Amino acid sequence: MKNGIPSDSTFPTITRRKDCSGGNSHSPNFQLGSGSTDFLFNAAYDIRLMDLGVNLNTSYKLNTENQYDYRYGNKFTGNLLAYYKFNIKQKIRVAPNAGLLYETQHQDVLYLKYEVYQSGGHLLSNVLGVEVNIGQVSFGANYQMPVSQSLANNRAWAGNRLMTHVSFNLKGKKKEEESLFGM
C-alpha cells in the first residue's frame, strides 16, 4: 500500500490581455495561465494484492482572483483505476489499467459577485491506459472517453482525450521503490 498527500501552488507569470487589437474579446480559456495565484492539493492511495491493484487519485485546485477581478471556479478531479502488472524478463514492467475519471468545476466569478453562466460543470469519463517502466524511466498513456457531462450549462462538450506522460527516477535505483502503479 502507498499513499501520499502533496500540495502545490501556481503564481501569475504572464501578462494577460483583456482584448486583442481589433477590440474583440479574448476568452480567458484560450490564454496560457489564469493570471492568478492558485493552490493545488493532491492525494493518492494505491493498494495491491500481488500484481493486481487499485489506484485512487484526487486533486483540488483552489483559485484566487486575477488582476481583472476574475476568479476561475475551484476544481476537483478524481480517478479510480484498476491495473495488473506484468514483468517481462525482470527488466520491463507493463501495467494496463482501466477505470473512471470524474471532474467538476464551480462556476467562474467576476468582480467577486457575478457567476459566469457559461462556465463550470462536471464530466465523467471511462479511462483505458497503460504504464511501462524500464529501469529508471516510466512512461504511459491513457485514453479518456466521456460517458456523462454537463459543461458550461450544456454549451460546451468535451471530446475524447489522449493523455501521455514520462517520468524519471532521480533518486537512483532502489529495490523497494515503486511507481504510482506499484511498479
Q: Is residue 115 part of a domain?
A: yes
CATH number at residue 123: 2.40.160
Q: Is residue 153 part of a domain?
A: yes
Q: Is residue 174 part of a domain?
A: no
Residue-level pLDDT at 181: 59
Q: Is residue 40 part of a domain?
A: yes
Count of domains observed in the chain: 1
Q: Could you list the residue range(s) of the whole structural domain that residue 45 is in?
A: 2-12+35-168
pLDDT tens digit at each of 183 positions of the chain: 555 556 555 656 555 555 433 444 444 444 456 788 889 999 999 999 999 999 999 999 999 998 889 999 999 999 999 999 999 988 899 999 999 999 999 999 999 899 999 999 999 999 999 999 999 999 999 999 999 999 999 999 999 999 999 999 888 655 544 555 555
Q: Is residue 163 part of a domain?
A: yes
Note whether 146 and 159 are within 8 A (CB): yes
Q: Decide: pTM greater than 0.85.
A: no
Rounded Cα–Cα distance for residues 81 and 179 (Å): 14
Q: Is residue 107 part of a domain?
A: yes
Burial class of residue 27 in the structure, from the number of CB atoms within 10 Å of its CB (0-12 exposed, 13-18 middle, 19+ buried): exposed
Residue-level pLDDT at 18: 52
Residue-level pLDDT at 37: 86
**DSSP characters over the chain:** -EEE--EEEE---S---SB-TTSPBPPGGGSSS-SS-EEEEEEEEEEEETTEEEEEEEEEEE----TTSEEPPPEEEEEEEEEE-EEETTTEEEEEEEEEEEEEEPPPEETTTEE-TT--EEEEEEEEEEEEEETTEEEEEEEEEEEEEEETTTTB----EEEEEEEE--S---SS---TT--
Q: Is residue 135 part of a domain?
A: yes
